Amino acid sequence: MPEGTAKNMAAGDAQDLTDGFHLIIDALKLNGLATIYGVPGIPITDFGRMAQAAGIRVLSFRHEQNAGYAAAIAGYLTKKPGICLTVSAPGFLNGLTALAHATTNCFPMILMSGSSEREIVDLQQGDYEEMDQLAIAKTMCKAAYRVLHAQDIGIAVARAIPGGVYLDLPAKLFGQVMNAEAGRKSLVKVVDAAPAQIPAPSSVKRALDVLKSAKRPLIVLGKGAAYAQADDAIRAFVERTGAPFLPMSMAKGLLPDTHPQCAGAARSTVLKDSDVVMMIGARLNWLLSHGKGKNWGDAPKKFIQVDIEPKEMDSNVEIVAPVVGDIGSCVQAFLDAMGGKWAPSPAEWTNAVRAKREENVAKMAPRLMNNNIPMDYHGALGVLRTIIQERPDTILVNEGANTLDLARGVIDIYKPRKRLDVGTWGIMGIGMGQAIAATVETGHPVLAVEGDSAFGFSGMEVETICRYGLPVCVVVFNNNGIYRGTDVNTANADPATTVFVTGARYDKMMEAFGGVGVNATSPDDLRRAVNAALESRKPTLINAVIDPAAGSESGRIGNLNPQSALKKKQA
Ligand code: TPW
Ligand code: MG
């Protein structure tokens, strides 16, 4: 029967009608978006149920921020937008932090939030959870769209892909009814959300000419390179150049940290002494001291930058050879243009870097084998380092200050996208959201190495981990505080601002929800417990008791703390 006939409409046959609920679900499914991370409530509770019934995996969290971090890292791991679903005003704001984080890190993510009655919100008449969410979201992401009519759902979801985008879904939208056939036709399947961006051949040649001229070349790999999933081409390119490479933290494992060209353990040497630096999917932001200053040494340096985003060029220092395109296409273009004859990097340089690296590794080795009780960071991390070496498919999630900085240096990663962490902002709280999404999206077990403070930001999600029975092993580095557990407040009876309850037992949190809890006071305890967890795939939390005096203020970035000019004068 042709659509919209009088008979059809008069019959009001529900089979020929669809609604906003189902159109959103159909639009997501049509675009291969099969997982939602969120928290239910008015006006999206039924939507979540219907999505689940329709075959979408809907993971309910205890706080939207954690659902949002899960969606953000799902986007990073899959190159498809991770979906976070929240209620209005407070739920939206909780999720928004994660959307802003995703946008800053260039992870594809869509935050979908229900919103209240437009007419009431816009007149500020005090609706339930009233807020002009669209206006707020616009400043935090690439784009923000509101969908007022069911027939626009298809185009709105398509426009939101790949993100970081906010989609505002007013309560009234969900219940709107339209003809089912017209609804089907209104859906849009995105054909190619991130088409290949081929770099200009002249830019490729310029970059290779500069690289060829180098006496002391360095390649810096960023998480943009890991995101690209061009692992074989990147490895082939790095190996063809013979240059030392430095992986940024989430690019570790793109080539194994044990690769002969890896300069991770000779970081300060290669930053200082290199003469040509090729950045691949890495930005010259604070994490690389903006490409200048004492970390980069005095010798003149030429930067080549390879990035999909033209705005990154010349952001902090002059880029003598900008190459704009997607990382996969750029690296392939390099390989094609290099041909068979490419002189390897000067041996004097590569040998010097290797010697420095071996010296630093040898210096660290005995510290990693120490059996001190209480454990220090190195004793505990030495154990985890061996476990990841033996189980390289495990995804490592890592946050904290000392717990982050030291684990990044100590734990070698062997495969691409197996290390997830605090990203561009150095944000605390990503831990449990990342752990959950990492195993949901990949099926691999997760080892989450968490400072006790860092863990606290998302700790309630251990219930979520137990509820879904996920293979996540959380190790809380319990040094009784932020940076150290030894601070004393002499002004009054309150504890110092950086210390927590002494002797806290985080393992009992996991036990409260039926998971396995272990209190580990020695490296041996820790080794046994982590191996058992990764073997059994049971949700596990290990309270690793760390010497409260072992850490340092702000980990490795204490220099970023402001100092009073007054204090300096007096000193
Ligand atoms: C959202 C500031 C940086 S690191 C850290 C805080 C609070 C916790 C460090 O203690 P932890 O690690 O995790 O116990 P450790 O091993 O040094 O003791 N709020 C947000 N993000 C950041 N980065 C902070 C606060 C911070
Ligand atoms: Mg701590």
Best residue for ligand 1 mutational test, from 101, 403, 449, 482 (most atoms within 8 Å of Cβ): 482
How is residue 271 written in tokens?
């930053």
What b/e sequence results for 219-254 when a residue is b if at least 16 CB atoms lie within 10 Å of its CB, and e otherwise?
A: bbbbbbbbbbbbbebbbbbbeebbbbbbbbbbbbbb
451 CB under 6 A from ligand 1?
Answer: yes
Distance 449 CA to ligand 1 centre (A): 13
Which amino acid residue places its CA nearest to atom 24 of ligand 1? 428
Coil vs helix vs strand at 378: helix
* Cα–Cα separations (whole angstroms), residue 487 to 254, 456, 494, 497, 558: 39, 19, 12, 8, 16
Distance 496 CA to ligand 2 centre (A): 14
**Amino acid residing at 53:** A
Classify residue 339 by its DSSP letter: -
Residue 356 to residue 269: CA distance in whole angstroms = 8
Best residue for ligand 1 mutational test, from 453, 474, 497, 543 (most atoms within 8 Å of Cβ): 453
Quick one: pLDDT at residue 245? 98
Distance 508 CA to ligand 1 centre (A): 22
With a CB cutoff of 8 Å and minimum separation 6, the contacts of 126 are 120
94 CB under 6 A from ligand 1?
Answer: no
Residue 103 to residue 78: CA distance in whole angstroms = 16
453 CB under 6 A from ligand 1?
Answer: yes
Distance 365 CA to ligand 2 centre (A): 23
401 CB under 6 A from ligand 1?
Answer: yes
Residue 450's closest CA among 509, 512, 371, 396? Answer: 396
Quick one: pLDDT at residue 570? 59
Residue 237 to residue 334: CA distance in whole angstroms = 7
Quick one: pLDDT at residue 568? 63
403 CB under 6 A from ligand 1?
Answer: yes
Residue 381 to residue 369: CA distance in whole angstroms = 9
Which amino acid residue places its CA nearest to atom 26 of ligand 1? 428
Residue 329 to residue 55: CA distance in whole angstroms = 35
458 CB under 6 A from ligand 1?
Answer: no
Distance 154 CA to ligand 1 centre (A): 41
Quick one: pLDDT at residue 566? 87
459 CB under 6 A from ligand 1?
Answer: no
Quick one: pLDDT at residue 3? 43
Which amino acid residue places its CA nearest to atom 25 of ligand 1? 428
Q: What is the DSSP string of 399-442?
A: ESSHHHHHHHHHS---STT-EEE-TTTT-TT-HHHHHHHHHHHH
Ligand 1 atom at minimal distance to the Cα of residue 406: 16
Residue 19 to residue 26: CA distance in whole angstroms = 10
485 CB under 6 A from ligand 1?
Answer: no
Quick one: pLDDT at residue 12? 53
> Phi then psi for 500, rounded to 5 degrees?
-115, 180
Distance 401 CA to ligand 1 centre (A): 5
Q: Could you tell me how many helices (H) and strands (E) the chain has, helices first?
A: 24, 19
Beta-strand ranges (E) seen in 249-394 are: 276-280, 302-307, 321-324
Distance 425 CA to ligand 1 centre (A): 12
Q: What is the CA radius of gyration of the chain?
A: 26
376 CB under 6 A from ligand 1?
Answer: no
Residue 216's closest CA among 292, 272, 169? Answer: 272
Beta-strand ranges (E) seen in 256-374 are: 276-280, 302-307, 321-324
429 CB under 6 A from ligand 1?
Answer: yes
Burial of 132 (0-12, 13-18, 19+ CB in 10 A): middle
With a CB cutoff of 8 Å and minimum separation 6, the contacts of 312 are 283, 284, 305
Which residues are near ligand 2, the ion (C-beta closer than 5 Å)?
Answer: 451-452, 479
Neighbours of 71 (CB within 10 A): 33
Which amino acid residue places its CA nearest to atom 1 of ligand 1? 428
Residue 340 to residue 335: CA distance in whole angstroms = 9
Residue 258 to residue 252: CA distance in whole angstroms = 10
Ligand 1 atom at minimal distance to the Cα of residue 451: 13
Q: Using an 8 Å Cβ cutoff, are 291 and 265 in contact?
A: no
Q: What angle do CA 228, 271, 299 make, to 5 degrees?
A: 130
* Cα–Cα separations (whole angstroms), residue 504 to 219, 241, 399, 442, 481: 44, 51, 19, 33, 10
Neighbours of 4 (CB within 10 A): 11
Residue 431's closest CA among 464, 456, 405? Answer: 456
Nearest ligand, measured from the Cα of 550: 1
Residue 83 to residue 25: CA distance in whole angstroms = 12
Give CA 226 to chain center in angstroms: 11
Rounded mean pLDDT for each run of 10 residues along the chain, 571 residues in total: 44 78 98 98 98 98 99 98 98 98 98 95 94 97 98 98 97 98 98 97 98 98 98 98 98 98 98 98 97 94 98 97 98 95 94 98 96 97 98 98 98 98 98 99 98 98 99 99 97 98 98 98 98 98 98 93 80 51
